């Protein structure tokens, strides 16, 4: 307080008076200051102390006023800038409330660089999520240079030819060998016998309750030939997993529904049967955001094609085109997809189509280790692919189209990876190209994902529309497992969960409960224990299909059938009528499920997707599902052969969904 006074010792009385007047004048706008200055003067009567205080506060008041003004201007400017930015970045289609139909030119829609991304803004809704694609010239922070061809890479003369083959087209057999993938179709999996032994004890405990063991059905339980195709050709029939009880069920089913589309004669192909069964099915409305925009790119048509009762229509040509695009389109952007526990990449292709990539983590012959809990297991890229095919074969259409793809770790991933991901790339001591990403499970240098030496297998699942445009709801699976090494879930101990679930919304009406049972059938067939949640599109409400996302933990044990995966069906003792019809048809033939799956997956670039032992497992599990249904119809107090004590309507539910 004394400081300023010492510097200004010659305050005159007149100056003080003028100042006091000014203070009073200002006090109307700055009352706090007036009070302070007055009280200071009056209390001590010492104007020499009061004056500098007043001056200082006055200055403060006056500069605060200016600061407010400046701040207001700044805010206004910010608002203007923000508005401008938002206006420029929203696709024009969104602004006008419809998609720009003018962008029907594939050439124009190719993303060639950031400039062009801006140029075609009106065409794409995905740009809301990703901007600034194509980092092909980016300097990735790991210090590695990308490898486009031979010249940059392998120093060893001898392997040049191999490399040339690998990178510029070779037979699949060659690539399999190079990628360290050895598979001999004619050899029965030698490990099967050992695995059988290893799992038998545990498995027989499970199987005791349903009467089937995982070994082949003994020949003594002879097949009723009137049920199945008598002339199952070699290659179309699977192993003989027939059972007298299942034959009985099938026979009863065929006679009960004779003449309807649920039944066909045993010469009709499964494909034709499915087609007839689903003829006239109403798929319901589309997602509002895409209803009036079909687009020309396959992924746009996929989004346009999402309906209330199915994710896609398999008969629409865009499905095959989408699958081909996912296998072949050049990749322009890669980043890690957040959410979930294990590493997966979000891939953007040159046509702006996006995919969820799950890399191969171990060879197909490696089964889930007996002492591993399913939730600690690696995800399998081939399980994602096989699950898509199975879902499609069963006529569910609830898994996004998923294909296999060979990736050049350097060119396809590292070159276009964002810096966070790029930092995790390295060349291993033996010269393989590896990365590990960052996630909660297995994302460190002791769990690298490696090419052999540079090519890596993986699954590419078509990306669903961005959440901003098609919100999804995540539901807890009522039959969720405990995800604990020590605890069991309620339904694993008690059998009455279904009674509770049936009374609860949204399971107490519409298709939802049957969908959960379908999901159980699906997961039992694939051996997926990891179904903690499922998702639906919000816009369709509760009367809609369930998305079967995340099948990476399926197909882990070919000689073990996860009977507990079938708990919803067993405990409710119900199954959807159309689902039962499909299973009966696949049991009946002429083609087995394994044959249909083998054929369906044959065109995938990573074929064979499933080893024979896993394909066999599908036939065996199908038989087991039918066996459970047989048991449901029989009821606990059924008499001997021939009669079903429970009514069909209670067990086989016709909810109109095909």
300 binds Mn ion (CB under 5 A): no
Closest residue to Mn ion, based on beta-carbon distance: 550
Residue 376 assigned ligand-binding role: no
* Partners of residue 623 on adjacent β-strands: none
Contact 334, 410 (CB under 8 A): no
Those residues with Cβ within 8 angstroms of residue 581's Cβ, 6 or more apart along the chain or in another chain: 253, 257, 262, 263, 277
Site map (CB under 5 A) of Mn ion, residues 503-542, x = contact: ----------------------------------------
Q: Is 537 annotated as a binding residue?
A: no
CA 29 to chain centre: 62
Gap between the Cα atoms of 419 and 437, Å rounded = 11
356 binds ligand ATP (CB under 6 A): yes
Q: Does the annotation flag 619 for ligand binding?
A: no
Are 561 and 616 in contact by the 8 Å Cβ rule? The answer is no
The region of 96-104, 136-144, 321-329, 549-557 touching ligand ATP under the rule CB under 6 A is 549-557
Q: Residues 123, 310, 417, 464: which binds ligand ATP (CB under 6 A)? A: 464
Q: Is 464 annotated as a binding residue?
A: yes
- Considering beta carbons, is residue 354 or 623 the nearer one to ligand ATP? 354
Residue 238 as a binder of ligand ATP (CB under 6 A): the answer is: no
> Is 530 designated active site?
yes
Q: How many CB atoms are located within 10 Å of the residue 520 CB? A: 24
Stretch that binds ligand ATP, among 173-181, 203-211, 335-343, 608-616 (CB under 6 A): 335-343
Q: How many of the chain's residues bind ligand ATP (CB under 6 A)?
A: 15
- Going by the DSSP 8-state scheme, the letter that residue 413 receives in this structure is I
From the CB of 553, what's the least distance to Mn ion, in Å? 6
| 477 in contact with ligand ATP (CB under 6 A) | no
Residues 587 and 245: beta-carbon distance below 8 Å: no
342 has binding-site annotation: yes
DSSP secondary structure string, 206-237?
Answer: HHTTTT--SSPPPTTS---TTTS-TT--TTTS
Q: 300 vs 550, which CB is nearer to Mn ion?
A: 550
Give the C-alpha separation, 419 to 410, whole Å. Answer: 14
Q: Which of 155, 339, 639, 642 binds ligand ATP (CB under 6 A)?
A: 339
Say which residue the tokens 């599902």 belong to: 625
In Å, what is the CA distance from 509 to each residue of 475, 512, 542, 578? 16, 7, 9, 18
Smallest distance from the beta carbon of 462 to Mn ion, in angstroms? 17
Q: Is 463 annotated as a binding residue?
A: yes
Other beta carbons within 10 Å of 19: 18
- Tell me whether residue 110 is exposed, middle or buried, using C-beta atoms within 10 angstroms of its C-beta: 0 to 12, 13 to 18, 19 or more: middle
Angle 244-256/577-588 helices, nearest 10 degrees? Answer: 120
User: Of residues 153, 318, 425, 463, which one binds ligand ATP by CB under 6 A?
Assistant: 463
From Mn ion, ligand ATP, none, which one binds at residue 356 (CB under 5 to 8 Å depending on kind)?
A: ligand ATP
**Is 649:267 a contact under the CB 8 Å cutoff?**
no
The item of Mn ion, ligand ATP, none sharing an interface with residue 248, based on CB under 5 to 8 Å by kind, is none
- By C-alpha distance, which of 430, 432, 391 is closest to 410? 432
Q: Which does 339 bind (CB under 5 to 8 A by kind): Mn ion, ligand ATP, none?
A: ligand ATP
Largest CA distance in the chain: 124
- From 206, 248, 379, 391, residue interacting with ligand ATP (rule: CB under 6 A): 379
Q: Is residue 582 marked as binding?
A: no
With respect to ligand ATP, which residue has the nearer C-beta, 531 or 621? 531
* Contact status: 619 vs Mn ion (CB under 5 A): no
- The catalytically annotated residue of 351, 530, 561, 604 is 530
Helix (H, G, I), strand (E, B) or coil at 364: coil
Does 552 participate in binding ligand ATP (rule CB under 6 A)?
yes
Decide: is 400 part of the binding site for ligand ATP (CB under 6 A). Answer: yes
The tokens describing 93, both together, are: 């289609």
Instruction: Pick between residue 344 and residue 436 the one whose CB is nearest to ligand ATP.
Output: 344
Residues between 506 and 535 that touch ligand ATP (CB under 6 A): 530
**Which one of ligand ATP, Mn ion, none is in contact with 377 (Cβ closer than 5 to 8 A by kind)?**
none
Helix (H) or strand (E) holding 331: strand 331-336
Residue 98's CB is within 10 A of a number of other CB atoms, namely 11
Nearest-angstrom CA–CA distance, 410 and 280: 48
Distance CA 607, CA 209 (A): 36
Degrees (nearest 5) of the Cα angle 269, 272, 274? 110
Site string for Mn ion, 539-578 (x = CB under 5 A): -----------x-x--------------------------
Which residue's CB atom is positioned nearest to ligand ATP? 340
Question: How many other CB atoms are found less than 10 A from the CB of residue 484?
Answer: 10
The only residue of 229, 403, 455, 461 in contact with ligand ATP, by rule CB under 6 A: 461
Closest CA to 617 of 593, 596, 635: 593
CB of 646 to ligand ATP, least distance (A): 36
- Is the Cβ–Cβ distance between 354 and 303 less than 8 Å? no
Residue 143: CB minimum distance to ligand ATP, A? 29
CB of 532 to ligand ATP, least distance (A): 7
Q: How far is the CB of 151 from ligand ATP (least distance, A)?
A: 36
Distance, in Å, from the CA atom of 207 to the CA atom of 226, rounded to the nearest integer, reads 27
Instruction: Give the binding site for ligand ATP (CB under 6 A).
Output: 339-342, 344, 356, 379, 400, 461, 463-464, 530, 549-550, 552
Binding site members: 342, 358, 379, 461-464, 535, 550
Binding site members for ATP: 342, 358, 379, 461-464, 535, 550
Instruction: Give the binding site for Mn ion (CB under 5 A).
Output: 550, 552
Q: Which residues are catalytic?
A: 530
């Amino acid at each position: 307080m004394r400081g300023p006074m010492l510097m200004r010792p010659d305050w005159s009385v007149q100056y003080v008076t003028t100042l006091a007047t000014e203070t009073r004048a200002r006090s109307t706008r700055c009352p706090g200051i007036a009070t302070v200055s007055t009280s200071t003067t009056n209390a001590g009567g010492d104007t020499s102390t009061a004056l500098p205080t007043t001056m200082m506060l006055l200055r403060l008041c006056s500069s605060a006023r200016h600061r407010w003004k400046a701040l207001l201007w700044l805010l206004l400017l910010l608002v203007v800038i923000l508005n401008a930015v938002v206006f420029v970045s929203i696709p024009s289609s969104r602004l006008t409330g419809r998609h720009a139909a003018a962008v029907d030119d594939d050439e124009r829609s190719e993303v060639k660089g950031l400039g062009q991304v801006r140029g075609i803004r009106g065409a794409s809704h995905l740009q809301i999520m990703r901007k600034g694609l194509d980092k092909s010239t980016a300097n990735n922070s790991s210090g590695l240079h990308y490898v486009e061809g031979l010249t940059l890479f392998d120093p060893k003369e001898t392997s040049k030819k191999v490399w040339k083959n690998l990178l510029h087209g070779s037979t699949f057999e060659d690539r399999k060998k190079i990628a360290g993938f050895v598979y001999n179709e004619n050899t029965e999996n030698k490990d099967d016998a050992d695995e059988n032994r290893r799992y038998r004890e545990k498995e027989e405990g499970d199987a005791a309750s349903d009467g089937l063991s995982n070994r082949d059905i003994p020949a003594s339980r002879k097949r009723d030939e009137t049920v199945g195709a008598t002339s199952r050709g070699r290659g179309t029939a699977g192993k003989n997993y027939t059972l007298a009880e299942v034959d009985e069920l099938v026979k009863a089913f065929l006679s009960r529904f004779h003449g309807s589309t649920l039944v066909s004669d045993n010469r009709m192909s499964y494909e034709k049967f499915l087609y007839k069964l689903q003829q006239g099915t109403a798929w319901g409305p589309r997602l509002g955001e895409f209803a009036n925009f079909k687009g020309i790119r396959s992924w746009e048509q996929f989004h346009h094609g999402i309906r209330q009762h199915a994710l896609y229509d398999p008969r629409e040509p865009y499905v095959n085109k989408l699958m081909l695009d996912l296998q072949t389109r050049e990749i322009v952007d890669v980043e890690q997809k957040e959410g979930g526990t294990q590493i997966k990449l979000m891939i953007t292709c040159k046509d702006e189509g996006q995919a969820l990539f799950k890399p191969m983590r171990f060879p197909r012959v490696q089964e889930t280790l007996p002492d591993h809990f399913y939730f600690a297991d690696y995800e399998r890229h081939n399980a994602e692919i096989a699950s898509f095919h199975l879902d499609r074969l069963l006529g569910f259409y609830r898994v996004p189209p998923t294909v296999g793809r060979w990736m050049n770790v350097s060119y396809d991933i590292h070159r276009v990876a964002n810096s966070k991901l790029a930092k995790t790339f390295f060349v291993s001591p033996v010269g393989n190209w590896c990365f590990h990403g960052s996630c909660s499970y297995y994302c460190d240098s002791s769990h690298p994902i490696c090419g052999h030496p540079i090519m890596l297998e993986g699954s590419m699942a078509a990306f669903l529309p961005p959440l901003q445009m098609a919100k999804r709801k995540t539901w807890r699976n009522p039959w969720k497992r405990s995800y604990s090494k020590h605890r069991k879930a309620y339904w694993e101990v008690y059998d009455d969960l279904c009674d509770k679930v049936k009374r609860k919304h949204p399971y107490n009406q519409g298709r939802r409960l049957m969908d959960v049972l379908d999901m159980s059938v699906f997961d039992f067939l694939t051996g997926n224990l990891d179904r903690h949640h499922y998702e639906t599109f919000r816009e369709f409400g509760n009367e809609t299909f369930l998305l079967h996302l995340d099948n990476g933990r399926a197909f882990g044990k070919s000689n073990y059938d996860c009977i507990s995966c079938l708990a919803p069906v067993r405990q409710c003792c119900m199954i959807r009528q159309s689902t039962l019809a499909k299973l009966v048809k696949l049991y009946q033939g002429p083609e087995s499920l394994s044959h249909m799956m083998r054929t369906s997956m044959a065109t995938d670039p990573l074929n064979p997707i499933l080893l024979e032992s896993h394909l066999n497992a599908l036939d065996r599990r199908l038989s087991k599902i039918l066996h459970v249904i047989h048991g449901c119809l029989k009821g606990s107090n059924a008499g001997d052969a021939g009669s079903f004590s429970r009514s069909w309507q209670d067990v086989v539910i016709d909810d109109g969904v095909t």
